[in-house]
Amino acid sequence: MARSSSIYVCSACGHEAARWEGRCSGCGEWNTLVEEVRAPARGSRGKPGASASGAAVTPRPLAQVPAAEHARLSTGIGELDTVLGGGIVPGSLVLIGGAPGIGKSTLTTMALANLLERDRRTLYVSAEESAAQVRLRAERLRSDGALRIPVIAETALETVLATLEQERPEVCVIDSVQALHCAELSSAAGSVAQVREAADRIMRIAKALGIAVLLVGHVTKEGSLAGPRVLEHMVDCVLQFEGERERTYRTVRAVKNRFGSTNEAGVFEMHDHGLVEVLDASARFVAEATRAAGSVVLCAMEGSRPLLVEVQALVSSSELVPPRRVASGLERNRLALVLAVLGRHGGIGLGAADVFVNVVGGVEVDEPGADLAVALAVASAAKRVSLTAGSGTAPLACFGELGLTGELRTVAHAERRLAEAAKFGLTPVLEPGGHGNLRSALDAALGSQRSAKLAA
């Protein structure tokens, strides 16, 4: 049998070389050569681009194409099913990315255990941990299915592919794609060439045999999937597992989904017996809100669902030049922008103060709708005035984007945010609909509190 061999292809110009070179001799670019496996030629002499048989095919209108029925496989984890768009599509490739320790192995093990309890054939390929380590995790999950999951601890890609072909599971977890190694490539496991080759070959076998594959992938510190972005293009669905390891709350978000919306997000909490779905996140965050100066409730959106979260700020005089600006749970540049607008248009200059802002519970909000909450929390901390809603006991809830000229801009899903706040008695909500600019919002939030204090 002719053996396939590896060659090096320039990712910039496509030039091919027999061995790795630092600089492409085709286009002169540095570090662009990537290793690739070349299957032996099968003696076809067809023109480039011709299909195997060379015969033309007749295109047909889309309406005549039979609609594909996606009978979904439920993972038994409601939040995960929602993010996937209603469960796993048979034969699909799902990439689950997340930082080490966030709970990727736990989530995928739980999903397999549930599928197995529903009589689905499953397989867990552990390329990172020994089978004994996988068992230890499964024991913590306290589910019957978990200990019955068929597992192989294997890093050789060829062995994994052969096992898939032999076992033909309906759902398979590969944990992780970066730990697999293809013997035909000389580069190390985890390199771009290796990860691409592994994903490509797994995808081909999965599509051919109708195996749904959950590929686990690591992300870099910057939050993108390590190695090749090309993986994201190959798979049907990319899920991002976010949150901080030290905090309890974690979110799973779809950043790409060929079979559903990318607006969905699921909230989980890590317990000592696995991940638990948090269905009443708003209720918890509101109950835990401190109502102290520097605290405000933000009506945020987690995907297509509203979520009430507490935003806290601390302002203290600084010894440093420039002073500290620390943001957790939101983007640092967004905080800088809000502070600049507060100084210029809100009359609250904090040039000589350290400012810390925290979204409580480890929740990440990356939407402009959080601007007003950040501004109010900081203003409330700076003025040492606590903010409450109309009745005086409930914490103040708000949302809205700040424009550079100090205006308040409307954000998406205002009705859903308002309804969520109303559900927890946080009315009236401070939002762009009722206030045109930052100054009037500040007056409404801080001013009414001051007059209430004087009256008391």
126 binds Mg ion (CB under 5 A): no
Is 109 an interacting residue with respect to Mg ion (CB under 5 A)? Answer: no
| Nearest distance from C-beta of residue 362 to Mg ion, angstroms | 19
In whole angstroms, give the CA distance from residue 429 to residue 189: 53
Phi-psi region of 119 (alpha: psi -120 to 50; beta: other; left: phi over 0): left
Question: Token pair for residue 184?
Answer: 């035909």
Query: HSE-up of 407 (CA within 13 Å, CB side)?
Result: 6
Residues linked to residue 173 through DSSP beta bridges, in sequence order = 124, 214
**Which residue in the set 76, 85, 87, 103 belongs to the binding site for ligand TYD (CB under 6 A)?**
103
Q: Do 270 and 250 form a contact (C-beta atoms < 8 A)?
A: yes
249-257 and 265-271 beta bridge pairing: antiparallel
Q: Which of Mg ion, ligand TYD, none interacts with 102 (beta carbon under 5 to 8 A by kind)?
A: ligand TYD
Binding of Mg ion by 106 (CB under 5 A): no
Name residue, tokens 């501004």.
375
Q: Tell me the closest approach of the beta carbon of residue 158 to Mg ion, in angstroms.
A: 23
282 neighbors 306 (Cβ within 8 angstroms): yes
C-alpha 73/C-alpha 89 separation (Å) is 6
What does 358 interact with, of Mg ion, ligand TYD, none (CB < 5 to 8 A by kind)?
none
CB nearer ligand TYD, residue 107 or residue 394? 107
Per CB under 6 A, the segment of 96-104, 328-336, 368-376, 390-398 that binds ligand TYD is 96-104
Residue 102 touching ligand TYD (CB under 6 A): yes
What is the total count of residues that contact ligand TYD (CB under 6 A)?
Answer: 14
Site string for ligand TYD, 119-148 (x = CB under 6 A): ------------------x--x--------
97 contacts ligand TYD (rule: CB under 6 A): no
Residue 353 near residue 322, CB atoms below 8 Å: no
3-state secondary structure (DSSP) of residue 419 = helix
Shortest Cβ 137–ligand TYD spacing (Å): 5
**What is the closest distance, in whole angstroms, from the C-beta atom of residue 407 to Mg ion in the complex?**
46
Q: Which residues, 6+ apart, have CB-to-CB distance to 191 below 8 Å? A: 35, 185, 227
Interface with ligand TYD, residue 260, by CB under 6 A: no
The CA distance from 268 to 241, in Å, is: 10
User: Other C-beta atoms within 10 Å of 312: how many?
Assistant: 22
Residue closer to Mg ion (CB basis): 123 or 381: 123
Please tell me whether residue 240 binds ligand TYD under the rule CB under 6 A.
Answer: no
Collapse the DSSP code of 281 into the 3-class scheme (helix H, G, I; strand E, B; otherwise coil) and give the result. helix
Q: Is residue 104 a contact residue for ligand TYD (CB under 6 A)?
A: yes
Site for ligand TYD (CB under 6 A): which residue of 111, 151, 254, 270?
270
Interacting residues with Mg ion (CB under 5 A): 105
Interacting residues with ligand TYD (CB under 6 A): 98, 100-106, 137, 140, 270, 272-274
